[in-house]
Structure 1
Amino acid sequence: MDDVATDDAALLEALLSSLAGEESVYSRWCWSAGADLAHHVHDLAKAAEADWAHEAVRGATGPTTLGEIESALRPVTRDTAAGLMVSLSTDSLVFPGHPWRDRAHARQAATKVMSILGPGSEWFSNIDGPWENGRAWNPVTRHTFDGVVAGRGGGFVVSLLQVGED
């Protein structure tokens, strides 16, 4: 492992942690060697479900297999992924219009994440279309609301997930 990759990993950790500062927003990164994107998102979804078990609707179900997670994720452009990352970090899926944090910080952090993963990176989300057009999604958790954006490139896999209940 070279120093640049180690520095990028440390920076990714800090950036994703800053984007996931709210209690219902989760982030994860790993080295991409052998990392399957659906498995990566599945592990993050399970962590969020465990943390938010007290909020889940009794008897609620959601995707439980890697195949179900994989089928929920659709390719998105880098620009769409960056916008979704900002929105998942700053805006509630449940209560729109009540921003959690400064969008400028989230935009800066998302832009840097995109830069680290590089121009050839691949991005996926369970959210259909730009955030501003309303939200339709394919669930990746058992929660009433969830949104995830995940990418791979530059030797890394990253994801940002928000869950919520009304």
Structure 2
Amino acid sequence: MEVDTNGSRPVFDLRVPAATVTRDFGVSACAVHAPERGGTVRAPPTQRQGTAFAHSRAWHDTGVERRGREDTLSELGGLLTALSAKPVVAVRYGAFPGGASPGDGPGPLADQIHGLVAELHRTWKRYLPSGATPPSASEIEGLLEPLGADAAIELMATLAADNLVWPGSKLMNREIADDTVTRIVHGFGAGATWWTNRRGASWDAVTACTFDGVVAGSDGEYFAILIQVGED
């Protein structure tokens, strides 16, 4: 981890092609990523760089300029994209247009989860019961439970690496998933809040799929979501 010459924001040593990251600063002011995993995007082993980053500035920096905001989204997007494996594992990340206090609860995150779930439903439509629709944003909000940072790291890495439908089947290398998720969660800082629909081996479904699991977090300015879905 480096700090830029102005000392204003953290800089990741992220070796992914810039072309793999898409940023959307239009009406929604959020960026969405759920690409096919074809080996084109991989976060390298990071030797636990996230641990050191936890003690530097969090992404939520009140003095960040527009350029810094775009760079932050690019870094966050590169890390999350390395965890995605559409259509089984999808991610979404971005910045809330007006900001949202971490103490506001999962409402703003539930809206973003609902949008991602709606996209997944279009992909999985032929495998779902006729007429199946995703829960509303308010229903998803009621299904989410808070997570501590360590629990968020463990669960997000599990959802990225381990197949919910076929236990023992790997979606990606677990060590790389652990390292990547650690950087994401520590990057958000100690003031971030994390949420999930899973409680141990049980869950409250946020999709119409037989299996699903989501972890979502925000520091009040930026947000990150990872979801795995599946049918047996």
Specify if TM > 0.5: yes
Q: 2:219 aligns with which of 134, 146, 153?
A: 153
How far 1:44 moved relative to its partner?
0.9
Report if the CA contact (8 A) 2:91-2:224 is conserved: yes
SS in 2 for 1:104: helix
Q: Of residues 71, 79, 93 in structure 2, which corresponds to 1:15?
A: 79
Report if the CA contact (8 A) 1:126-1:140 is conserved: yes
TM-score by length of 2: 0.65
Q: TM-score, normalised by structure 1?
A: 0.89
Deviation at 1:106, TM superposition (A): 0.7
1:108 aligned residue: 179
Give the SS at the match of 2:82: helix
Does the aligned pair in 2 maintain the 1:116–1:154 contact within 8 Å? no
Q: 2:92 aligns with which of 28, 46, 51?
A: 28
Partner of 2:119: 47
More helix, by proportion? 1
The count of aligned residue pairs is 160
Distance in 2 separating the partners of 1:44 and 1:72: 16
Which segment is superposed worse, 35-44 or 143-152? 35-44
Unpaired runs of 5+ residues, structure 1, are 130-134
Alignment check: 8 A CA contact 1:62 1:143 kept: no
Letter in 2 for 1:10: S
Unpaired stretches in structure 2, ≥5 consecutive residues: 1-64, 101-107
1:77 matched to 2:141: no
Match of 1:6 among 70, 74, 88: 70
Let me know the Cα RMSD of the aligned residues.
1.7
Residue from 164, 179, 182 that aligns with 1:93: 164
Identity level (%): 37
Return the alpha-carbon distance in structure 2 between the equivalents of residues 31 and 59 of structure 1. 32
> Larger C-alpha radius of gyration, 1 or 2?
2
